[in-house]
Structure 1
Amino acid sequence: MKRKLLEFGGAAVVLLGILGILYLVLGRIGNGPPEVGSVTIRCGEESVIPLGNEIYRTEDGKKREERRLVPEEIGEEAPLLAYNDDITAKYEGNSENGSFYFTIYTDEFQGYTEKKSWFTPLEEPGNYLVCIETYWGTEKNNIGMEYYFWLQVE
């Protein structure tokens, strides 16, 4: 009887140890600093990686604002794509934020559209600066990013 009690007690200790380790390991998933994913814009056969800029960082629910870029200072740093109706954005990475938002500026940096989940077809010829705003990570730990690229409409 004593031996069975010892075997049962040993098995219970081992099982509790395994459950404790799993709790610690699984409890850490989603915690810690988030990693920024990648964004690729494809228009027909051409694809570019937009110019990225961190706009905020949230760690353990505490948000720290960073500097946003002003459209006038983007210049030629952002890549240029020739526009056609076959334009897509590809996102790779961990993000729980749902929608991504786009702002399109004309050559004079006057807002063309704001806070859309995607933009309507561009018909007027000219160059348009597109800003995609999103965040990577979870609600508690995330990094807000803005991504810039130029679209040339002929």
Structure 2
Amino acid sequence: MPTLYSTKVTAVGGRAGTVRSDDGLLDLHLALPPSLGGKGGASNPEQLFAAGYAACFGNAVIHVSRNRSVKVADSAIEVVAEVGLHSNDAGGFALSVALDVAITGLDQAAAEALVEEAHRVCPYSNAVHGNIDVAIRVTTR
């Protein structure tokens, strides 16, 4: 299977360090959030994961909508991703994800069917399948 796209990001200093992509477009300081004992004031890995998942899932909805008789405008799809960090039973950590997907211009049943199909094709959904609990809520406007 050919690679459609690849990128590299280098992290230095862990959760209180920096991340930088090989093309320099992503160049961020990181900080441990106050709820985890840090000072905050900068992004953290969970925010970056949530941003990536939300954008990718939104595009998966756009992608599968192209094969439908009723077209949905790209701007009619909004995805809010909430990523939670939890302790697990093995002394480590686990993530949870909640996706709130709002679609303008479809009835509830059509929106739910579209999102269900998007969840099957989204690379983030496929990557976390069986490893991270993902709750999805679909609303229409």
**Structure (1 or 2) with the greater strand fraction:** 1
**Structure (1 or 2) with the greater helix fraction:** 2
TM-score (norm 2): 0.29
**Which structure has the larger Rg over C-alpha atoms?**
1
Greater RCO structure (CA 8 Å; 6+ sep): 1
